[in-house]
Chains A and B, each alone.
Chain A
């Protein structure tokens, strides 16, 4: 419990910064909505000028851009990009910051098992992400109800917003896995930006092709907002793939961390 509380406190600042950044993005985008929905016909015409693959890559769905959920799901792509970076940063830092700050010796010579250390640390990161999402969802919900031009389904709004947390958790465990497998990560941000953007572009490419199998390659494409709006549900195969990635990465990370030699500075 002491490790959990300490870690949670250590993430306080970064959690606040990320939460407010996400809120700022959603506020900014949503404030465009009233004017876009007013001129949606012209806007659609303008967008039609782009070739279809490009529109797909950028997540533009012409038929529902004029509805608040359609617009929300379009901008949501960029929110998940941000959120993924937050998740990945946390995941990579969890263990690598102990090596970088040379505090691993301190922690690992205390009467706690490595499993307990990792669990406490992961719980702290998960709680940070959940708090971020809770605050985000309240803020985004308030913003949506301010700018809406017609009623929308609260359920769909929550379902779309929840995918942010899913994606963050996937990147959290991927980051953790990277930090356990590769001995020394000097700069967390470089690695996490690299990996996240890589998956983001893979996701963009996958979206243009129309080949459903390609979507498995990028966690960004596991939750198709158009599908969620239409069916009010997630797509089971991709949801399972996400859960599978989380489970496999966690198990591998735990095993690798148990066996890992902790070297001095």
Chain B
């Protein structure tokens, strides 16, 4: 079942670019990454899903209901953590969380205590006095306290120290195991690689690709570096799928994409001293989506 269905979603603001014809689905129970550089349209898409802004074209459904018409109904089961958290300053953390919980018709108190414990959050402090990281924690607890079925995170990790980030990811994995679907927007690739099952890549307001992380990695180049006894001419590796051949003295390196056996057979013909085959990291995979076409 699809928890989120986005169809041809478009939002234009006068001259400024918004998003154009965005379509993708997020299935129940998955952690879906939404990745792209700053200003690509991630927040615009998310804010439309939350009906904070209204689309100029297309539609989006959450839990099968139109996300504009049924916004307040859907919101019962959504937990949202914005990239910048600012809450009513002259409140204590506890009062804010109570206020937040008062919108949901269930008792959230036990969950608040659990979450505060996990995130190491002092409930008696004034929000005014909290550091950025601690405000972020308030945001996290606030977003999860009603056990939402769908959690929408817009660049959630900024301001969290690595230890807290780790705890936060563990927390997300935990609620995901219990059945929550997560939409995780980020421009930090390692986060997405660590958490997500699938990703949508957005660039300049358009979806470039929606793919499983594992497939993205499989489909991509492998980096070969071979050290040989004798110098080999770059022409030797003229095979389909080989790119960027570089030869220096007795090493030769290239990128390869395709059936790995063909390269292996070719390599068997030469005398090898050492061999490196590397998986490119996501960084390198995404880089070619990121770089603007010249």
Contact = CB atoms under 8 A, between A and B. Distances in A.
A263 B84 CA distance: 12
Nearest to B143: A109
A101 B75 contact: no
Given A2-B102, A110-B75, A262-B52, 12 more contacts: A6-B99, A105-B80, A108-B51, A109-B75, A110-B100, A111-B76, A111-B103, A261-B52, A261-B53, A263-B52, A265-B84, A265-B86
Contact of B54 (A108, A112, A261): A261
Which secondary structure dominates where chain B touches chain A? loop
Contact of B50 (A109, A112, A259): A109
A251 to B, nearest CB: 20
B113 to A, nearest CB: 20
* Most chain B CB within a 10 A radius of its CB, from A102, A105, A108, A262: A105
Contact of A111 (B73, B84, B87, B142): B73
10 contacts: A102-B84, A102-B86, A103-B88, A106-B100, A108-B51, A109-B78, A112-B75, A262-B47, A262-B53, A264-B84
Interface in B41-79: 43, 47, 50-54, 71-73, 75-76, 78
Contacts of A111: 72-73, 75-76, 103-104
B89 interface: yes
Nearest to A102: B86
Contacts of B102: 2
Interface of B: 43, 47, 50-54, 71-73, 75-76, 78, 80, 82-84, 86-89, 99-100, 102-104, 142
Nearest to B82: A105
A183 B5 CA distance: 31
Nearest to A112: B72
A16 to B, nearest CB: 15
In order of increasing CB-CB distance, the 10 nearest A-B pairs are: A102-B86, A261-B53, A111-B75, A2-B102, A110-B103, A111-B76, A262-B52, A109-B80, A113-B72, A105-B82
A6 B89 CA distance: 13
A106 B87 contact: yes
A264 B72 contact: no
B76 to A, nearest CB: 4
Contacts of A6: 99
Contacts of B99: 2, 6
B88 A101 contact: yes
Interface string A94-119: 00000001111110111111001000
* Most chain A CB within a 10 A radius of its CB, from B50, B80, B88: B88
Contacts of B50: 108-109
A103 B102 CA distance: 16
Contact of A264 (B76, B83, B104): B83
A101 B73 contact: no
B93 to A, nearest CB: 14
Contacts of B52: 104-105, 108-109, 261-263
